[in-house]
Amino acid sequence: MKVYKALVAVALVMALAGCADLDNGDKVEDSGGTKDTAASSTTLTKDNFAEVIAAAQKRAKTSHVTMAVSGSGQEIKAEGDVVTGDTPAESAMTMTMDLRAAAGGQVTEMRLVEEVFYMRMGEMIDNKFAKIDLNDESDPLARQYGDMMNQIDPSKNMEMIRDAIRSFKEKGDAIDIDGVLAQPYELVVDTAKFGDIAGGGGTAGVPDEIVMTMFIGEDNLPRRVTTEFSGQTIRMDYSKWGESVKIEAPPASDITDKSPLDQMAPAA
């Protein structure tokens, strides 16, 4: 479970670092924000980076994200859509993560709607979704994944990123990413500010700092983020900013009461 938790946490932190304004009950549907890609006159600095990027994402509201994790001869791929909100309840995500190239892995589907995390882990739970209310302290899975609430809270996320930046600088020339000219910036971040992002146990065994390269378009929207984390190279690509997205909770018929923890328990 630690592998799943760490990857999910990293995906959420990197994917949901922004703000928006949504409120649609048990589903999130958004027609997107502005698609104005006019160049910004704001010069990005260490002090204003988090706020400027957050403001751009607030205008866009939605994005499509792909992720690739590689290292130790293994590769993990993920793809999904994200709606970034002012609060965790207004944020949503759907993502499919292919872990078949990892030892004992499988295809895992995740959805986040109204602070409820749904996770489908193949035959382990009859190809249905486990439902995890991240605010339910009586649920063992919620206790295990509950620390993600701070990571998916956009205001706390941006505060965490801002406070974690040790250094910030342009890194080379702008490059074309899907028709958008994106300037790379190198951020050195303090891992102590990221708490339990490593999947439990704080930052034990994690380097004191992590170098992230963020490719930012002229509209101040992220187009690509690359980093290395715990021996893994992680790359996130962002596209379709501001396009219509609808994310719903799975139907009741696709939700199971079985817990992945029960299936993983040793036989008596």
CA distances from 264 to 40, 56, 124, 220, 231 (A): 51, 42, 9, 44, 26
Show me where the domains of the chain are located.
2-164+230-255
pTM: 0.77
What digits encode the pLDDT tens for the residues 182-193? 999 999 988 777
**pLDDT < 70 stretches in the chain:** 1-41, 102-104, 140-141, 143-160, 194-206, 260-268
- Spatial distance between the Cα atoms of 56 and 40, rounded to a whole number of angstroms: 10
Tens-place pLDDT, residues 36-78: 433 455 789 998 988 888 888 888 889 898 988 887 777 888 8
| Whether the Cβ atoms of residue 129 and residue 254 lie closer than 8 Å to each other | yes
